Amino acid sequence: MGQDTFVSLGGCRFSPEEISAAILSELKFQAEKYLDRKFSKAVITVPAFFQDHQRQATIEAGKLANLDVIRIINEPTAAAVAYDTKMENNQRILVYDLGGGTFDVSLVLVENGVVEVKSSHGDTFLGGDDFDQLILELLFDSIYNKHQIDLSSNTAIRYRLWKAVEKAKRELSDSPFAKIQEEFITGDIHIDFELSRSEYEQLITPILMQTLDCVHHCLKDAACLPSSIDRILLVGGATRTPLIHSMLQKEFGILPRHEINPDLIVSMGAAIHGAVISGSKHHSILVDITPHTFGTGVLEMEESGANPEKYIPIIKRNTPLPASKTEAFSTVYDNQETIEVTVYQGENENVSDNFL
């Protein structure tokens, strides 16, 4: 989302916003059909580590689907809102959200009816699809070793095997072995490949270590020790992987919770938040944060000369929303009549290394 890329389908080119709008339109149609009423407004969730331009692209997708997007909320936050309906005592919750293409982790404090996000971290290019890719590459290597033919660049074969790989990945959540069997992949080549859960776990361990690094960053930002976490909430279909459960249990000493369907909990939280906005009563108050720093660029005078690349943070990441901050700056020379104020998002000291 928010990138200048296009997908070719049926001889036409579509932007990510147009693809997203098509999905939203279908969801809108199905909801109106099921509830027998029209909808014009929506609460949409996004990965917590989405940049601002990605959030704006999501809003644009809503407009293309004839929806007034009244609120964008972070997916881990929405999950915490849904989970809060089952909360009995005040809790400090770690929300581990591993979806198909993104990973987010948030530390959420639920106290006296207030759901407050203390910190968030993540990777917008890491998810369960990476698991599929690793298995797929293993499968192509097996085909090459057996038949001396490289099929990895064949788009049609790649898509066909991807569907079989995803099915096998799901089976490995509940079984120690999974078979991938496909006939006549090309010519007279057939596939009969068995993957064990232990082999699969060896493949994905480096990716899961990356998610654990994000978890540590999240805890550090909130000045929170692992021992102070009361519960771990799993979100996203990829969290059904048993290795994730054992990894988090080993790290925190507590068993992750997934009593609410990890595929649905985010949408449930969004629905609850939408109901609150429309006037329904709910005992929780949501306090979200900005996962990135917002600031501006200035001309800094140094001994070696002027530095036009200085970035000054104004609203720092993990600041509760809504937020308003002010900062005082001087003009370059007296009686200067105009200035240019640019807003950037990011954590780098050089302004050009951040997002405009």
pLDDT tens string 9-60: 878 899 999 999 999 999 999 999 999 999 899 999 998 878 888 999 999 9
Calculate the average pLDDT of the chain.
Answer: 87
- Whether 76 and 173 share a structural domain: no
pLDDT of residue 68: 94
CATH number at residue 173: 3.90.640.10
* Mean pLDDT (whole number) for 310-338: 81
**Does residue 322 have a cis peptide bond before it, meaning omega lies within 30 degrees of 0?**
yes
- Separation CA 136–CA 161 (nearest Å): 7
Domain count, the chain: 3
pLDDT of residue 259: 74
> Please, which residues have CB within 8 angstroms of residue 241's CB and are 6 or more apart in sequence?
131, 172, 173, 204
**Could you tell me whether strands 91-98 and 103-111 are parallel, antiparallel, or unpaired per DSSP bridges?**
antiparallel
- Whether 98 and 65 share a structural domain: yes
pLDDT of residue 66: 93
Comparing 317 with 86, the larger pLDDT belongs to 317
- Whether 232 and 218 share a structural domain: yes
pLDDT of residue 334: 84
- Whether 64 and 213 share a structural domain: yes
Q: Which of 290, 317, 345 is the last residue of a domain?
A: 290
Domain residues for the domain of 319 are 294-353
Q: Which of 202, 227, 244 is the last residue of a domain?
A: 202
CATH number at residue 106: 3.30.420.40
- Whether 16 and 113 share a structural domain: yes
% the chain with pLDDT above 90: 39
> Please, which residues have CB within 8 angstroms of residue 268's CB and are 6 or more apart in sequence?
78, 82, 260
* Mean pLDDT (whole number) for 225-239: 91
Residue 308 in any domain: the answer is yes
In this structure, the dihedral spanned by the alpha carbons of residues 296, 301, 304 and 309, taken in order and rounded to 10 degrees, is 10
Q: Is the pLDDT of residue 356 over 90?
A: no
pLDDT of residue 9: 80
- Whether 27 and 118 share a structural domain: yes
